Amino acid sequence: MYGKLILVRHGQSIYNEENRFTGWKDVDLTEKGIFEAKSSSLLLSKQPIDIAFTSNLKRAQKTLDLILNELGIKNLSITKNEALNERDYGSLVDQNKFEAAEKYGKEQVQIWRRSYDISPPDGESLKMTLERTVPYFKNKIFP
């Protein structure tokens, strides 16, 4: 039997609004983020949802909770796991992105953000993020 995978990004977080590197920093949603989460439920209203997975970060969990509440879905099996957390930006976390570009150089910050196998200081490269998330997907979500 085949199912449908629905991916939803969390609503705007406080650090998104402040243009800061967030990574694993556990920041909450803004009012706009709450509105975005609730609004996304309109797009999902005709989709059957029988299980949900989310990261350990409250912005993702709150987005999921808001969507489920808007849809009137209760008693759903929800699995939370840090393997689904977004990329860890290490030492860049908390820094404003423009200020980080001034401090380290715009080109260097772009290398850290967009290179496949180069990580920011004390953080994860995209490759490392995939090595963390893909096995979880294959072993827990895909089956």
Positions marked active-site: 10, 86
Count CA atoms closer than 13 A to 81's CA, side-chain side.
15
User: What gap in Å lies between CA 28 and CA 60, rounded to an integer?
Assistant: 9
110 by DSSP, 3-state: which? helix
Report which of 64, 48, 46 is spatially closest to residue 56, judged by C-alpha positions: 64
Report the distance separating Cα 67 and Cα 45, nearest Å: 10
CA dist., res. 102 & res. 96, Å (int): 10
Query: What sign has the CA pseudo-torsion 56, 62, 65, 67?
Result: negative
